[in-house]
Amino acid sequence: MIEYYGTLGPACAKAEILENMFRAGMSGIRLNLSHTTLEKSRQWIELFHTAAERCEKKGSLLIDMQGPELRIKDLAEPLKLEEGTAIPLSSIPFSREVTDHLEDGDTVLLDDGKLELAVQGKNLLVMRGGTLTSRKSVKIVGRDINLPALTETDRVNLSLAKEMKVAAVMQPFVRGDDDIREVRRELAKNGCEDIRIFSKIESRTGLSHLDEIISASDMIVIARGDLGNDVPLCELPGVQKDIAGKCRAKNVPFLVVTQMLTSMIHSPVPTRAEVSDIFNAVTDGASAVMVTNETAAGEHPAAVMKVLYDTGTAAERWLLSHPE
């Protein structure tokens, strides 16, 4: 049976909306801890568990850790970056891990590649513009920066995981089985051995150690946002199929996420391409599919879950009618 996950955020953190999402087919929800903590999200989490009980659903809570992902710091207000303009490097609050590695000529991608900057001495040339908000992802193209698998905030969050009824941990930017072992040790330390680990494949490093990551994980997450920054976009569908094939061969479940129903952030109906994407992910063997901003910040959270569920179940029916 396919699992259908939304993402918890301001747009859906209301009892009625969460109940409607469950009734539309939602299995569980992701909480992105790059922007908050479990303690700060306590009220949202209680709403989620209450909605699950009212709908007689298990309601799996997934927490997406900070992990070794680079992000900008908080901005006082959104920053408009206009294409073709140059801004001082200091305009963007990069962490020290970023600034220590930046070199003249580097290309920097922000917010899953939505914005692109080129380093020119002490300035940044805006190659692809847009609006930048706090805590968005940073990728220095062609550069791997070695960071610990867990931040101190991650460890605090894991200490509350049992109390908050967390079902699984999504570990970002997994680089090898050592990262997974570190997460398992921290879970065991907090009496959470039954919590599953979903390993996110988001970089070439993860791809190069894919076999060992699959063997050590409870589920693989094909996280196409950052992964699409590390491989050419035209090759990303093939990479997705390669990961899916290896997971099937090892009988390890996998989840597909990122931009599955992006148009529905504003539109009440999906595009044909989006439903094809969901359908193909399920027919390729996905055990779970997930939406992110579509429910966390979108205008139609329950409708999104219905499209996700209806398309996934249509794909399952198709598979049953087309046995190999």
Q: Which active-site residues does the annotation give?
A: 30, 71, 200, 258
Closest by Cα among 75, 76, 80 to 115: 80
Half-sphere exposure of 315 (CA within 13 A, CB side): 23
Is residue 294 helix, strand or coil? helix
280 to each of 60, 241, 272, 283, 315, how far by Cα in Å?
Answer: 24, 10, 12, 5, 8
77 to each of 33, 91, 113, how far by Cα in Å?
Answer: 20, 12, 20
Is residue 244 helix, strand or coil? helix
Q: What angle do CA 303, 314, 301 make, to 5 degrees?
A: 15
